Chains A and B, each alone.
Chain A
Amino acid sequence: MTSFGLGTVDRVIRGRARARAPGRRPGEPRLIGLVYIAPAFVLYALFVLLPATDGAWISLFRWDGVTVATWTGLGNYADAVTDPVVQEAFIHAAVLILFYSIAPVCLGLIITAALSRHRIRGLTAFRTIVFLPQIVAAVVIGVAWQWMYDPQGPLNGLLSAVGLNGLTRAWLGDFGLALPAVGVIGTWVTTGLCAVLFIAGVQQIPLDRYDAARVDGAGPVREFFAVTLPGLRNEIVVALLLTVVDALRAFDLIFVTTKGGPGTETYVPTILIYKRAFQSGQVGSAAAIAAILTAIVLLVSVGIRRLEEAREA
């Protein structure tokens, strides 16, 4: 206890500690824990939990945000489910999952397969670079990609330079291509995350499994499917979990690049929620869509985890 300093202070503390806990056996539940979590919990309850339940309540009213709200029960939900704009937004979110999750997981696996068979020099630098999109503000990423996609931007410049003038276009303003174009930004953001996750995972796979596969005469492809892929199962689940939630929650990027346009081509639930709640005075409807989105996000996260647990069992 010398590190705690003064002997007298020590003795006082020790005396108190003994006096304070008579008859309490070690390991017994103690209410003091509640005091320790109080600050964090109060913050969370006041600014996240309470508003979340408040939002569920708002979703039961027709309200423009200014005048008196009128009760509509599940009316907003019924409207949302049958509203083609809302349906479209959720379909777009599903499409974005392909770009935010499926594509990055596949690309991440390709990177991992390429880098895990032998020692690669500069692996740390590589990790740092591909992870970079994860830490840059979405607004900045939006600005960067909007310039990439600009009619006068680098992408079209590159296409012209290699003689593909016919392919140049205003990517983000193109009906039909705007959503995939936004999706590619998502792929760009999450691929590094998946790669880094998988590269770390591969290092946990026992080397003798690779040796065994090689003794059996497995080439790089068989080795990947027989050893690497099964060994990365956990990491793949985590990657899916993170990126699917990212896809469903995507807002900043889309708001900055297309604001949902052209037309409603890149409308996603979050954009719709923002527009209805803060621009067109359909607050109840926005709250209902938000509640549906939250339910989907929670279900998907629990679902993906269950899937994994079921497989392990």
Chain B
Amino acid sequence: MITSRGERSLSYAIALLFAVAALAPLAGILIAALHPPGALLSGISLPETLSLDTFGTAWDEAKFSTLMTSSVIVSVSVVVITTLASIPAGYAFGVIRFPFSNVLFYVLIAGIIIPFEAVIIPLYYSFRQIGLTNTYWALILPQAGLQVCFGTFWMRAFFRAAPGELVEAARIDGATTWQVLWRVLVPIGRPAIFTLVVLVFTWSWNDFLLALVMISDDAHRTAPLGLSVFKSRYGLDVPSVSAAAILVALPILVLYVFAQRQFIRGVLSGSIKA
């Protein structure tokens, strides 16, 4: 395409502007976190010496070893349950014809847009009644119940697009429906499943509301909840709170660096028909 030089520079300028804007707030806390714990910052101040001490302090003060353990237990459990439940469900909705499949599918994907605030109130009181508040189950089960909606939706899209000849061939060879799923489709579906795993892990790692409502003891706090508690106690210590925030985001940021394509594709196409 023929475009003028000035126009080209303008394009780069706009791109640069938005990229800087997207990074600025995160850069802000990164710079703050490089200051010593408790330092009083003002404006845009660069630390005189580079040190990662504040991360260590924040790790200890906010009890990150407990927070991270909880978050890992919860997120991994949600991922395992969601994936194992979504694969057969997506397969059924995508490939098998069965009674009420349309209605059931619409009911299920309504869960993608339902505001969780509508669910959290009765959920809390039921869980309190059966003594499940302040347990990991209170975080894992509702999270999985919510994520299977997207998971099923996502896996259905994959199974629909999967080459029909492959399934036919396996069928002719006498494979059962179940075998077609696990021996033919799941192996070729690894990329789709990987995307699902990455997204579900991220969403459940980032969850805040459920933890805020269900968890009131120190032992079961997840990282985002721990950050919020830490912030309300040490709000004036900007470097430490900033360091804690970065620690909470770090696992997902690392994941994003390696799987940004999957993140973007998943969030976009997953939501397109929601």
Residues of A within 8 A of B (CB): 1, 3-4, 10, 13-18, 20, 27-34, 36-37, 39-41, 43-44, 46-49, 51-52, 54-55, 57-58, 65, 107, 110-111, 114-115, 117-120, 122, 126-141, 143-145, 147-148, 150, 152-154, 156-158, 160-161, 188, 191-193, 195-197, 200, 210, 220, 238, 241-242, 245, 248-249, 251-252, 255-256, 269-270, 273-274, 277-278, 283, 286-287, 290-291, 293-294, 297-298, 301
Contact = CB atoms under 8 A, between A and B. Distances in A.
A270 B1 CA distance: 49
Nearest to B41: A152
A47 B121 contact: no
A43 B91 contact: no
A133 B272 contact: no
A140 B248 contact: yes
B173 to A, nearest CB: 4
How extensive is the interface on chain B, given as a class? Answer: 35 or more
Contacts of A210: 1
Nearest to B246: A140
B118 interface: yes
B224 A48 contact: no
A10 B145 CA distance: 37
B14 A111 contact: yes
Given A18-B174, A256-B231, A131 B142 contact: no
A252 B18 contact: no
B124 interface: yes
Nearest to A136: B249
B141 A47 contact: yes
B219 interface: no
Contact of A29 (B7, B98, B123, B141): B98
Given A10-B173, A144-B28, A270-B115, A111 B123 contact: no
Contacts of B8: 118
Contacts of A141: 25
Nearest to A47: B145
B99 A34 contact: yes
Residue among B12, B145, B271 with the highest chain A CB neighbour number at 10 A: B145
10 closest pairs, A vs B, by CB? A157-B43, A33-B98, A14-B174, A47-B145, A36-B92, A1-B173, A54-B122, A40-B89, A137-B206, A143-B245
Interface string B131-152: 0000000000110111011011
B264 A131 contact: yes
Given A1-B173, A147-B238, A136 B42 contact: no
Interface of B: 1, 3, 7-8, 10-12, 14-15, 18-19, 21-26, 28-29, 32, 40-45, 81, 84-86, 88-89, 91-93, 96-99, 101, 104, 107-108, 110-111, 113-126, 141-142, 144-146, 148-149, 151-152, 170, 173-177, 179, 183, 202, 205-206, 208-209, 212-213, 223-225, 227-228, 231, 238, 241-242, 244-246, 248-249, 252-253, 256, 260, 263-264, 267-268, 271-272, 274
7 contacts: A16-B174, A32-B177, A46-B141, A49-B111, A129-B23, A148-B28, A152-B43
A54 B267 CA distance: 30
A49 B246 CA distance: 35
A39 B114 CA distance: 20
A293 B1 contact: no
A128 B124 CA distance: 37
B86 A139 contact: no
Contacts of B104: 37, 41
A294 B242 CA distance: 34
B42 A251 contact: no
